[in-house]
Each structure stands twice: as C-alpha cells, then as structure tokens.
Amino acid sequence: MAILTALLSGLIFGLGLMVSGMSNPAKVLGFLDIAGSWDPSLAFVMVGAIVVASLAFFIARRRKRSLLGLPVQLPTSTAITPRLILGSAAFGIGWGLAGFCPGPALVALGAGYPKAIGFVAAMVAGMAVFELVERAKAGMQRA
C-alpha cells in the first residue's frame, strides 16, 4: 500500500509540475531572469503548493502515525550550517545553468528528452560523489 501511495504521490506531483510550467526549463529560466523580460509565473506555483501542503503538515505534525500506520518522520534539523548554504548555492547555480531541478528533470526524463536523461545521469553522479565522500569521512572517523 505504501508503494501504491508513493506512486500516486509521484504521479500527482509530476502532473502538477507539468501544469505549473516548472517542468519546462525555458519557463524556469524566464522566471530566474529578473533583469531581462521577467516571467513571474512560477512564484504562483510556490503559493499554491504551500497553501495546500501547510494544511497537511499542520495535521501530520500532530500525529505519530500516518493514515497507513507508518511512522511520521518529519525533519528535525534546524541548524543553519555552511554545508546547507554552500550546498544550496551549488544547487542554485546548477538550476540557473540548465533550468532543471530534480523533480522536473525526472518528468522530462519520462517524456524521453535525451538531455534530461543526461542531466539525471549527471545528477545521480553528483549524489554518488556525496555518498562516497561522506562514507570515506565516516570510515576515517572510525579508524
């Protein structure tokens, strides 16, 4: 059941990205180009998403278990670290270069665009580098 609801959530999420225009890199770059001919549409995506999701998190925060009986696992970290800032900055540069963030890239991959497939492959490589570096660090701490 948890697999089915995950599939459904991903599907709804993907359709939302398509309807909103987020899954089109040209639209994203038009939003990020404040100094040019600015298309502010994507600010409305955030407004719509937050209106609905904040209600859901308001409910979820008060529960130990989800409707399927799974533990509610919300992030607990509140630390604002150099890692958070530098990571977000690197992400933002990548986002501004190609107009893709992770969700829209996976939607475009599903639509069969070769460059989206290339983007996702490079993204997974970046995530793998993070894993290897973190594992090496953890290994050194143990030794």
> Which C-beta is closer to another protein: that of 70 or that of 141?
70
Q: Taking the complex as a whole, how short is the minimal distance between the CB of residue 136 and another protein, in angstroms? A: 13
Task: Tell me how far, at minimum, the Cβ of 115 lies from another protein, in Å.
Answer: 5
CB 109 within 8 A of CB 117: yes
Nearest approach, Cβ of residue 142 and another protein (Å): 14
Question: From residue 121, how far is each of 34, 118, 127 by CA, in Å?
Answer: 30, 5, 10
Which CB, 47 or 140, lies closer to another protein? 47
Euclidean distance between CA atoms 17 and 99, whole angstroms: 13
Nearer to another protein among residue 37 and residue 141 (C-beta): 37
Residues near 90 by beta carbon (within 8 Å), at least 6 away in sequence:
none
Residue 110's contacts (CB-CB under 8 Å, 6 or more residues apart) are 14
Least spacing, CB of residue 16 vs another protein, in Å: 3
